[in-house]
Structure formats: structure tokens, C-alpha cells
Structure 1
Amino acid sequence: MSNSLIPASILPGLLELAMKSRLNIQAMFQRIGIDPDAVGRRDQFITLAQLDALLTAAFISADDDAFFGLRVGSETHYGAMDLLGNLMASSSNLDAALQSLLRYKNLMVPYMELSLQRSQGSVRLAASSDPSLRFTSLRAHNEAVVATMVSIGRSLTSQQLGLEAVEMRHAAPADTRPYDAYFQVPQYFEQPHNAIVFAEETLVRPFSGAYPLYNERLRRQADRLLAGLSRAQGTAEQVQQVLRQRLGQGDVAIVDVAQALNLSVRTLQRRLRQDQTSFAELRDKVRHGYARAALRAEICDMEQLAAELGFSDIANFYHAFKRWEGCAPGEYRRRQR
């Protein structure tokens, strides 16, 4: 489980979610080691492991509410995103707001990889989450992610988002009427990512609440907070975080990770040397951990696993795994099972 850090300023939003799921907040905070004095503070941090425990418990506790994730996401406003939400709201338009989201998303969702794609008059905002976190495999999480993107998009654009479709990773529920009522556009299930598709013209429509001077002030605050977060968790952990997020997207090179961290390749290499490690070592560590977990699962397709890890063929995966573990993947699987 990752020890990556997130500013404790997100805790008020998590508290609201925990209350909606009827979770015993005091007991949960004590069990996972969250200091209540840290709630809402930008100079304090919680780990991804703590976030995982809290969100997994919240989503599972609300299991009797079939559309809990949809309800939570649809009730989310940009104000719940603290500094990042206000930065987006004071932007000149949705395009600028989304660029801020992509740049500063680690202040809120470091476990999530976001991408923005434009094609034939439409824009697709997609999200993929770290598969090692338990809550990211739950249907409620998928609903919450997509509904939150829609809700915030609508609130930023004065209900003029121009939504065209939504995509979700889970299978279609027996009753999709709540989805129909909220999204009011076609829904596609069992998709590779959680995503929303909206009209490209929405990107350039001016925001009525645009406030350039305030936006610049918030941007400076966000830069300082992002720099503090980077110092707190170290470059090696940041690299592993990006690599975990991009599993399943083919071979990830150091230039890709450097770009994700807003660093030059040379700077990234220098910082990793200071941490007494290298990009190759960290990539092997992430691949090894993911492979071990996948091989312990009830069903495992070796060729698919090799591709997810970024190997060009299954033979290269076998050689690498034997180097890591001292035995072939099949033998490791038999021992574990």
C-alpha cells in the first residue's frame, strides 16, 4: 500500500462522506491513525493507505444504498475541493479550469490519472485510479467519480456543460433509471476508464465568476502547496505513484514520468540519485508488486499481465519475474495458491 501523502485539507469532504454512509468517524479515525487536529489543515497530511481505509469503509457501510456513489457525486460542488475548487471557479473558462485540475490534481486525488482528449467537436475527460487501492474497485467509487465530474462541470458552467455521454467501469445495474434521471445522456458500462464526454464549445465559454487577480493569487498558493507536498513525500515515491497509475498503458519511459511531475529528465535523474535509487529500480519495484498481487488472484492471464506491466512479450516478463522472485511466475502462483 502506498505511503503517498495528501493534504489533510481534504478531510472535511471525507468527513461529510463518512457521515452520509453512517460511519463511526471517531472509531475509524482512531483505528487508521488520523489526528482530528489535522482536519482541514493544508500543512498536515494523510497517507493514501489511510484514505483507502476510510473510503473503503464508507462505501461498504453504505452498501444498502444501491446508488450511494451517484448520490454523493451529484451533491458535490466545486467548493468541496478547497483551494483547487476555488482556483477552477475563478478561471476564465472551462478550458483554463481543467488545465488547473490537471496540474494540481495531486492536491486532491494523487491516486488518479486524468486525461483530456478532443475529437470531432467533443471533449473526453477520463479518470483512471490506482488499482492497488481497494475502494477504486467498487461500483460506488466509479459512480462518485463520474457524477462528481458532471456535477462540478455543471456548477462551473452555470448548468451549461453540454454533456453528451458518460462512461463507467462497472457493469450496468439492473435499474438504470437513477442514471437516466441525473445524467440525461447515454451511459456506457464496462469501459476501460470512468469518463464524461461533453461539447468542445463549452471549453471556451467565459465564466461569469472569472476573477484573474484572485486566480493568480490562488495559483501561487497551489504552487507552494504542491512544492511542499513534493518535499514531504520524496521524489522516489512520486515516481512510483505515477508508475502505478499508468499500469496497463504500455511501457512507461522516464520522459513520461518526468513530464507528469513537471520536471526535466535530468532533474528527475539527479533527484533519484539523491534518494539512492534509479528509475529502472523503481519501475521494477512497481511491476514486481503488481505481478505478485495479480498472480495470487483466482484468475490470472499471463499474457495480459505481461502487457499490463509494459513488457513487449511474455518471455521478457518471465525473465524479469525470475530475476525478481527467483522462480517462474507459474511456480510462484502454485506456491501461493
Structure 2
Amino acid sequence: MSPPLSIIGSWLTLFAATLDSYDIDSRAFLRERGVDYSRQSDPEHRIPLATMSSLWDDAAAITEDPAFGIKAGQFVTPTTFSALGIALWSSCSIKDLVVCWCRYLHVFSTVADMELAETDTEIIMTCTLNTHSDSVKASLYAIDATLSALLHICKQHYGSEIVPISTSFTRPQPHNIEPYQAIFGPALKFDQPCIEVRLDRTTAEKKIPGGNPSLAKATEQLVADYLQKLKAPSLIRDVQQVLFELWPRGDAKLDVVAERLHVSPRTLHRKLEESGSNFRQQQETTRHQLALQFIRQAHLSITEIGYLLGFSSASNFSRAFKRWTGSSPQEFRARQNAHH
């Protein structure tokens, strides 16, 4: 099994601000689900897709607002995307902004790939979601929030008259499309094969008042360095990848992982400590992430999931799952089914 797709930790600031606007204590909400908000300012901190999707789905359920994701975009700030956000805000045109976004998207999220195309009259952004398996899906609300945040940045840059020529969503059409029209304009398409935003090329190429090419260049170099580091080999990522493969086989043990990584158990233990972690922590992290993946697979019973994750009984798994998420596996699955 592949290592988890991830989102940069600073994305939590937008998520928390949105929850707070509904008079919901975002810190308590995150704490109950085992998410440490204090790490949102750490540029090295990344959140697995399974965890982040669960947060968005839970928030939409608790607020009872299908437009939760779309409304979240208004809370975007220059630091929402860490250094990438600063680079976007420093862009000298909307075109420069979307080029930067597409080039360095993986700094924000490895969940999707973006392609940019141009015609004589349009600039076209196309988004393709990356999913390693059918068990992990990006939350519809998270996708809404990302697109909404990007459009809010464009509007803050150039003015509210920035409206896409058309916007395509892969999601089903919501009952109320007014919140979508308020951000993306009237030309909306739903149930499409890919996510696509079309912008007027002439408007996108106009220079933005206050654009700062020197700052844009400097921050873009920071972003490029971060992306290179993200792609570089990492001991913790390697350990997690092996654990993802071993948990369902019942072999998620230090000596087995060490053998797979061609080091001694003692060396692996020492290197993990040098990285600020330990093997037990990585076991717990990957167990939690796999639990969120497996619970979305309707064909797996709660007992089977517990067995796959090495728990001696369904009740032990249920206790651990409630510690991780604040809900029992049955409650969590019922809530997911109600919103999909």
C-alpha cells in the first residue's frame, strides 16, 4: 500500500477559522479527533488525506451546511498555503498566480495534479485527483474549499469582477447552487469528468496593482526548495510506507520493518529518535490512517478492520478508534454513509 497523500498543516488555519464562524470551538473539534492544531505553523507538518477528508466531512455534518467548503474560501490568508501563499499574493498578474499554483500545487497538497493550457482567449486550469485506491477519497467539501480559496485570492488581487468563464466540478450538483454562483459566476457544470476553471486570458494577463516581482521570485525559490525536500527520501515516509503494507499482514514489527529497509532494528530505532520520532509513534500513526481508510470500505466489517490492524478484539479496536476520532466505528461509518 502506498504512503498517504497529504496536505500542508497550515491548511488547518482556514478550516479552523471556518468552524469558528459557525460558533463551533475548532480547537476542541480538532482535539477530539486527535489533530494537534498547534502544529499548523510548522511548515514541515503535513496531514494525511484520510484525516483531512474526515475533518471536512464531519464539519459539514455538524454545521448542517452543504456549502461549508465554498464558504471556507473567504477565510484564506497569505499564510494559508505557507510560503506558497506568499508567492501567490506577490504575483504580478492572475496568469502568474495560476502558473505558480499549478507548478507548486504539491507543496499544498499531493492529492491532485494541475495542468495549465492556453488558447487565444482563455487560460484553462484542469485538476486531476490522485487516489491510490478506492478507499481514500478527497472530501467534496475540501475540493470546494480549495477552489473557493483560489478564487478569493484572485478577487482580492484584482477585484470582485474576476469571474471564471466557466467552472466544472466532478461533484454532483448541490440543491442550492447560489453559494457557488456567488464565487464562480453563473457558468457552472457538475458531474464532470474533471475539475476545470476557465479564465479570460486578457483579464488574467493584466498587471496587478501592488504586484511585487522581487518578493514573488524570492518566495517562489523557497517554495521550490520545499517541494524538492518533499520529494526527497525520508526515513519516516519509508517506515510508514512499509507499515502500511505490513499491518494487514500482521507483521508490523520493528525487526520486520528494519529488515525491509536493510538496516538493523537498533539502527532504525536510533535513526527514528534522531528524526524526533519512535517506532511506536509510527505504528500508531499508520494504524490510525489505515483505520480511516478501511472504515470507508463498506464490505469490511468492524471486526475485520480490527483484525487487519492487529487488534485482539473488536472492542479494543472500537476504543482506539474513539480515541482517535471521538466517535465509535459504527457512528463514524453511519455519518459517512449519510453524507455520500
* TM tier, smaller: 0.5 to 0.7
SS in 2 for 1:91: coil
Alignment correspondent of 1:12: 13
Alignment correspondent of 1:254: none
Q: Tell whether the 8 Å contact from 2:17 to 2:75 is kept in structure 1 after alignment.
A: no
Alignment correspondent of 2:138: 136
Query: % of aligned pairs identical?
Result: 17
**1:26-58 CA distance string (max 9 Å, x none):** 455445543344221113333333323322322
SS in 2 for 1:60: helix
Alignment correspondent of 1:222: 223
Instruction: Give the residue type in structure 2 aligned to 1:183.
Output: F
Q: Does 1:122 align with 2:122?
A: yes
Change (3 A) 1:134 1:203: same
Unaligned runs of 5+ in 2: 242-260, 263-293, 300-340
SS in 2 for 1:81: coil
Q: Does 1:88 align with 2:88?
A: yes
Moved more, 108-117 or 49-58: 49-58
2: CA distance between counterparts of 1:146 and 1:154? 12
**1:213-261 CA distance string (max 9 Å, x none):** 2222212221232233233657998xx9xxxxxxxxxxxxxxxxxxxxx
Change (3 A) 1:53 1:142: closer
1: CA distance between counterparts of 2:158 and 2:135? 32
CA RMSD of the aligned region, Å?
A: 3.6
Instruction: Give the residue type in structure 1 aligned to 2:70.
Output: L
1: CA distance between counterparts of 2:101 and 2:71? 22
Change (3 A) 1:149 1:98: same
1: CA distance between counterparts of 2:183 and 2:163? 14
1: CA distance between counterparts of 2:69 and 2:201? 27
Q: Does 1:65 align with 2:55?
A: no
Matches within 5 A, 1:146-295: 146-231=147-232, 233=234
State the Cα distance separating 1:79 from its structure 2 match: 5.0
1: CA distance between counterparts of 2:3 and 2:18? 22
Change (3 A) 1:111 1:38: same
Instruction: Give the residue type in structure 2 aligned to 1:144.
Output: A
State the Cα distance separating 1:77 from its structure 2 match: 4.8
**1:52-76 CA distance string (max 9 Å, x none):** 33223223323x2232222223453
1: CA distance between counterparts of 2:65 and 2:6? 30
SS in 2 for 1:72: helix
1: CA distance between counterparts of 2:190 and 2:237? 35
State the Cα distance separating 1:121 from its structure 2 match: 1.0
Change (3 A) 1:170 1:207: same
Alignment correspondent of 1:45: 46
State the Cα distance separating 1:98 from its structure 2 match: 1.8
State the Cα distance separating 1:164 from its structure 2 match: 1.2
Q: Tell whether the 8 Å contact from 1:7 to 1:41 is kept in structure 2 after alignment.
A: no
Q: Tell whether the 8 Å contact from 1:171 to 1:190 is kept in structure 2 after alignment.
A: yes
1: CA distance between counterparts of 2:143 and 2:5? 22
**1:116-150 CA distance string (max 9 Å, x none):** 22235112222233345756253x34433433332
2: CA distance between counterparts of 1:91 and 1:143? 23
Alignment correspondent of 2:76: 76
Q: Tell whether the 8 Å contact from 2:88 to 2:101 is kept in structure 1 after alignment.
A: yes
Change (3 A) 1:137 1:161: same
State the Cα distance separating 1:87 from its structure 2 match: 0.4
Structure having greater relative contact order (Cα 8 Å, sep ≥ 6): 2
Query: Taking structure 1 as the reference length, what is the TM-score of the superposition?
Result: 0.60
1: CA distance between counterparts of 2:18 and 2:234? 26
Unaligned runs of 5+ in 1: 241-274, 277-292, 299-337
